[in-house]
Chain A
Amino acid sequence: MSGLAVAAPEQTTTPRPVRRRGSYRWSARGFSLPAVLVVAVLLYLPFLWTTWISFTEYNGLGSPSWVGLDNYRAMFDDPNFLTSLRNTLIWVVGSITVPVGLGLLIATLSYGMRFGSWLRLPFLIPYAISGVAVGVVWRFVLQNGGGLSQALDALGLPGADSRWLSDAPLNTIVMIGAAAWQQSGVNALLFVIGLQSIPREPIEAARLDGASGWRMFRHMHWPMLRPLTTVVVGLSLVASLKTFDIVWVMTKGGPGRNAETLAVTMYEETFVNSAYGAGSAVAVFLSVVTFLAAITYLRRQLSAERTV
């Protein structure tokens, strides 16, 4: 849900004449201290600790011993990690296309229509339930010979005997479908808000010039929705890199760890294998990738917007 808030442009407070009020210096610190303290102790300190541990060998007992880049080297030689990396990539590509595209489709189809908000309701319900509950529902639907297979069978469609959650990369793909089921509705909502904020005059002018349907969308709505699309894709990108809940609930990472994502691999290495150094290396790698992806994406989008 934080998407709605982040989508809102950050507005800095209007500059006011600065008045030195020395008497408030201490109360200002007093009011700000709890936030700084709780974030420093419970978020930053662990963050630094993980970074350090990633250069050591450590299993939780005794003291960590420095091994330099060994964990990182071992990581890139580990077939499980490479599978996990591949799956995470599939997740990223799937998440920035399927739920965003469906959201855009639902928004454009329902926008301005009578009862449009009612027609959008089915898509919003999955958004209100947790990743875990989505996992429970879809694990049930996707059991071998379960709901989906029975439906395909009844409709005479192929694929009824697929082992949805066992075979890679099929399991990752169907889980992306489950995530899209959850996410598309809120993306649609965001796009509707975006459509509402498009000024009417140019749309009316285009309509008078005979534009409608696809051409109207392609040349008028789509360019105007661009800033919002940037935000939605950016948020999906960052969120998909961290995919954990759905994968954990539906497959525990899959038979032979074939459905793991980086977030799952980190959990597995740390809390199942007690390889804290290796787990930390995965966490650091994931953080760096997330950070770089976000920065690169934003910079490219911002420069693209300038040239448009």
Chain B
Amino acid sequence: MTPMAARILRPAILVVLGLIWLAPIYLLLVNASKDPARYAADQVWRPVSDFALFDNIRQAWEIGGLGDAVTSTVLYSVIAPALAVLIGAAIGFGIVALRLKHGFFWFVLVFGGTVFPLQMILMPLFVGYVEAAIYDSRLGMVAIYTAVTVPFSALVMRNFLGGIAHQVFEAAVMDGASTWRIFWRIYLPMSTSALVAVFILQATFVWNDLLLGLALSQSDDVRPLMTAVTALQDTYGGLQLTAVLAGGLLVSLPTVVLFLSTQRIFSRGLNLGQF
């Protein structure tokens, strides 16, 4: 292949592939915006004639019960990752700065929590939650989302805090600061970028979770968003397909916006996290 041909062929292949990649997004956008009365199942590629996206979203929000689920899921995906980064930073601090005895063992134990598939814990959690009367409760959901996000937080935070020179700790001790104060006032502020990066990754994970929601919740005001969307699509309970698609679009927007706008922060945070 001559260099000239390559110069044309490479972008051409990418553009064609890119268009194929965008086609499902086009179908989603166009059909989520169609007036249900005019939606024709055999003409899904046809562009929108009258724009009804907001009506469709409202339908999914109200009739499909996405409104309730959004409230719960915002709670879950803010509180649980926030707790998880703090808990992860705390054990990282305990191991790195306070030199916890057998620290590496405890670290491996905590990180090992992510090794097995979630399927291994669903049934006992379900039974245990029913016993403890926290099945189908927001408390129960926050607890499990925190637990599954702690191991990864511990991994990143331990690595990150390991990069802070121990002299920082010793100097603070000289100044008479308590360990608690050193943690809150020195170590946490020094690791903001890693905390933010881990928080974003974990918030996305919680926002996107389906499985834990299916297993541990059922009522409209507890179950998380992805579980609600799945239910929306299964029953169609009086809902038009256009509204289901609008729902799918709606729940994707936050993560798409977050991902595209934070790419830089989170690559920086994780790069620092290596050191």
- Give the interface of A toward B (CB within 8 A): 1-2, 4-5, 8-13, 16, 18-19, 21, 24-25, 27-32, 34-36, 38-39, 41-47, 49-51, 53, 60, 102, 106, 109-110, 113, 119-133, 135-141, 143, 145-147, 150-151, 154, 181, 185, 212-214, 241-242, 244-245, 248-249, 252, 262-263, 266-267, 270-271, 276, 279-280, 282-284, 286-287, 290-291
Contact partner, A147, options B22, B45, B106, B117, Cβ 8 Å: B45
User: Is B79 part of the binding interface, using a Cβ–Cβ cutoff of 8 Å?
Assistant: no
Q: Which of B24, B98, B159, B230 contacts A137 (CB 8 A)?
A: B24
A32 contact set on B, CB distance < 8 A: 90-91, 94-95, 100, 103, 106
**Smallest CB-CB A-B distances: 5 pairs:** A31-B94, A13-B162, A46-B124, A42-B147, A136-B248
Decide if B113 touches A39 in the complex (CB within 8 Å).
Answer: yes
Q: Which of B95-126 contact A (CB under 8 A)?
A: 95-96, 98-101, 103, 106, 109-110, 113, 115-126
B14 within 8 A of A: yes
Q: Which of A12, A46, A245, A271 has the most chain B CB atoms closer than 10 A to its own CB?
A: A46
**B256 interfacial contact with A, CB 8 Å:** yes
Residues of A within 8 A of B93 (CB): 31
Residues of B within 8 A of A287 (CB): 116-117, 119-120
**Interface core residue of B21, B120, B124, B144 (most chain A CB under 10 Å):** B120
Q: B214 an interface residue at 8 Å Cβ cutoff?
A: yes
Q: With contacts A28-B101, A106-B17 known, is A128 near B226, CB below 8 A?
A: no
* A158 CB to nearest B CB, Å: 18
Contact between A39 and B151 (Cβ–Cβ < 8 Å)? yes
Contact present for B15 and A119 (CB under 8 Å): yes
Shortest C-beta distance, A3 to chain B (Å), equals 10
Chain B residues with CB under 8 A of A214: 1
Query: Would you call B252 an interface residue if the criterion is a C-beta within 8 Å of the partner chain's C-beta atoms?
Result: yes
Are the C-beta atoms of B208 and A140 separated by less than 8 Å? no
**Bound Cα distance A214, B148 (Å):** 44
Give B35 Cβ to nearest chain A Cβ, in Å: 17
* Assembled-state Cα–Cα distance A120/B95 (Å): 40
Residues of B within 8 A of A (CB): 1, 3, 6, 10-11, 13-15, 17-19, 21-25, 27-28, 31, 41-45, 87-88, 90-91, 93-96, 98-101, 103, 106, 109-110, 113, 115-128, 143-144, 146-148, 150-152, 154-156, 159, 162-163, 166, 179-180, 183, 201, 204-205, 207-208, 210-211, 214-215, 226, 229-230, 233-234, 241, 244-245, 247-249, 251-252, 255-256, 258-260, 266-267, 270-271, 273-275
Do the beta carbons of B201 and A150 come within 8 Å of each other? no
Q: Is the CB of A132 within 8 A of B226?
A: yes
- Which residues of the partner chain A approach B45 to less than 8 Å between Cβ atoms? 147, 150-151, 154
Alpha-carbon distance A39/B154, docked complex (angstroms):
11
Contact B87 A127 (CB under 8 A): no
Known contacts A128-B255, A249-B233, A287-B120; A34/B21 CB under 8 A:
no
Is B18 in contact with A119, judged by CB distance below 8 angstroms?
Answer: yes
Smallest CB–CB gap between B210 and chain A, Å? 5
Closest A residue, CB atoms, query B127: A60
Which chain B positions have C-beta within 8 A of A135? 230
Query: Would you call B150 and A35 a contact (CB within 8 A)?
Result: yes
8 new A-B contacts, CB < 8 A, other than A119-B18, A283-B123, are A34-B87, A34-B90, A43-B151, A47-B120, A128-B252, A136-B247, A150-B43, A262-B119
Instruction: Name the B residues within 8 Å of A35 (CB-CB).
Output: 87-88, 90-91, 110, 150, 154
Q: Is the CB of A139 within 8 A of B256?
A: no
CA distance A119 to B17 in the complex (A): 10
Answer whether A276 and B123 are a contact pair too, CB < 8 Å, given A35-B154, A38-B150, A43-B113.
yes
| Complex contact A43–B121 (CB within 8 A) | yes
Contact A42 B210 (CB under 8 A): no
Specify which chain B residues have a CB less than 8 angstroms from the CB of A213 in the assembled complex.
Answer: 1, 6
Residue in A132, A266, A291 whose beta carbon sits within 8 Å of that of B251 in the complex: A132
Taken together as a complex, chains A and B put the C-alpha atoms of A44 and B252 apart, in Å, by 32
B22 CB to nearest chain A CB (Å): 5
The reply to whether B101 and A47 contact each other, CB–CB distance below 8 Å, is no
B99 touches A28 (CB 8 A): yes
Give CA–CA (A128, B125) in the complex, Å: 29
Verify A27–B96 contact, CB threshold 8 A.
Answer: no
Minimum C-beta distance from A56 to chain B (A): 12
* Residues A46 and B24 in contact, CB atoms below 8 Å apart: no
- Bound-complex Cα distance A41 to B140 (A): 13
> Are B119 and A212 in contact, with the CB atoms below 8 A?
no
Give bound CA distance, A87 to B271, whole Å.
37
Min Cβ gap B94→A in Å is: 3
From the candidates B27, B124, B154, name the one contacting A50 in the complex (CB within 8 A).
B124
* CB-based contact B255/A130 at 8 Å: yes
Question: Residues of B contacting A10 with CB < 8 Å?
Answer: 155, 159
Q: What is the minimal beta-carbon distance from B136 to any residue of chain A, in angstroms?
A: 14
Which among B90, B234, B267 is the interface contact of A4 at CB below 8 angstroms?
A: B267
Which A residues are CB-close (under 8 A) to B252? 128-130, 133
Contacts of B245 in A (CB 8 A): 136-137, 140
What is the bound-complex CA distance between A126 and B17, given in angstroms? 14
Given A150-B44, A181-B21, A267-B119, do A2 and B152 touch, yes or no (CB 8 Å)? Answer: yes
Name 8 interchain pairs, CB-CB below 8 A, sorted by A.
Answer: A5-B156, A28-B94, A31-B90, A102-B17, A130-B252, A147-B44, A213-B6, A290-B116
